[in-house]
């Protein structure tokens, strides 16, 4: 799956803004559920990076929405991510907003077990 279209892919890219544009460009020929512009993608990634949480707003598959959070190792590097996905009727905006803190907290707990001692969510 394209990194620039999925919640988990976006979570894995949060710390590398220098890769965002090139990743989007290289994946733009890939068929996508929405026709997100590069400018919209870059803007959303800036927001996601500042929040520490990434969303898939049906960018990859019609009707599927996701909330994703990065997992960090002891050095602070993103090494994995966790994701909660559901179909659109079960993942309304209010639910996604509530899941941000749940997913961030869970990812922070896992990250701490891997030795990460930096900012928690």
Q: Indicate whether 2 belongs to any domain.
A: no
Q: How many CB atoms lie within 10 A of CB 2?
A: 17
Q: Indicate whether 40 belongs to any domain.
A: yes
Domain extent for 70: 7-113
H or E stretch at 84: strand 78-87
Q: Indicate whether 32 belongs to any domain.
A: yes
Q: Indicate whether 89 belongs to any domain.
A: yes
Q: Indicate whether 1 belongs to any domain.
A: no
Looking at the structure of the chain, the number of domains it has is 1
Confidence grade of residue 121 (pLDDT, cut at 50, 70, 90): low
Q: Which CATH number belongs to the domain containing residue 63 in this structure?
A: 3.30.450.40
Q: Indicate whether 118 belongs to any domain.
A: no
**Which tens digit of pLDDT belongs to each residue from 70-94?**
999 999 999 999 999 999 999 999 9
């Amino acid at each position: 799956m394209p990194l620039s279209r999925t919640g988990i892919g976006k979570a894995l890219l949060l710390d590398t803004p220098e890769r965002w544009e090139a990743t989007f460009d290289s994946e733009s020929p890939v068929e996508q559920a929405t026709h997100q512009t590069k400018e919209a993608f870059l803007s959303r990634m800036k927001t996601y990076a500042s929040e520490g949480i990434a969303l898939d707003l049906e960018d990859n598959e019609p009707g599927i929405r996701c909330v994703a959070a990065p997992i960090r190792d002891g050095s602070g590097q993103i090494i994995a991510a966790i994701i909660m996905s559901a179909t659109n009727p079960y993942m309304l905006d209010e639910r996604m907003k509530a899941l941000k803190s749940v997913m961030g907290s869970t990812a922070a707990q896992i990250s701490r077990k891997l030795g990460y001692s930096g900012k928690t969510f």
